[in-house]
Amino acid sequence: MRALKPEQCDPLLIEALHAGNVDDAVSLYEPNASFVTDSGDVVVGHAAIRKIMEGYLAAKARFVLEEVKSVPCGIGDLAVTRARWRASGTGPDGKPATFGGRSIEVVRRQPDGRWLFVMDVPQEENWARLRP
């Protein structure tokens, strides 16, 4: 999976998750990328992000992107992307669950031209709760 524009990162991530392909999902992140969990904790690296993606698969989460925007940072090959999304799946109690929100991500163009996540904050409101 190759995002050739910043705004392709989110749709490709959802495509990988819907296909049940954790490897493809994780490949959309830089090796030392950060991911902000719902609790506001920051996890770093492919191994930690893989666990999160496996959790989405275990929940049988089905995502719908309602809007994706990107803004170049003007600093080298960085961009900020934002998405509005919703999802349904199975909650920890085994019952149907729905969730959603607005995300914010930092993505970077790689030497081969593809874009990868550097930081992923699926719930924008967790930005204020960041705990390293």
Residue 120 predicted with pLDDT over 90: yes
* pLDDT score of 73 more than 80: no
Domain ranges of the chain: 6-129
pTM for the complete prediction? 0.91
Q: Which CATH number fits domain 6-129: 3.40.50.620, 3.40.50.300, 3.40.228.10, 3.10.450.50?
A: 3.10.450.50
Q: Tell me what pLDDT residue 119 has.
A: 95
130 has a pLDDT exceeding 80 = no
Please tell me the predicted confidence (pLDDT) of residue 129: 61
Alpha carbon separation from 105 to 25, 60, 91, 112 (Å, rounded): 15, 23, 25, 20
Q: What is the DSSP string of 88-119?
A: EEE-TTSSEEEEEEEEEEEEEE-TTS-EEEEE
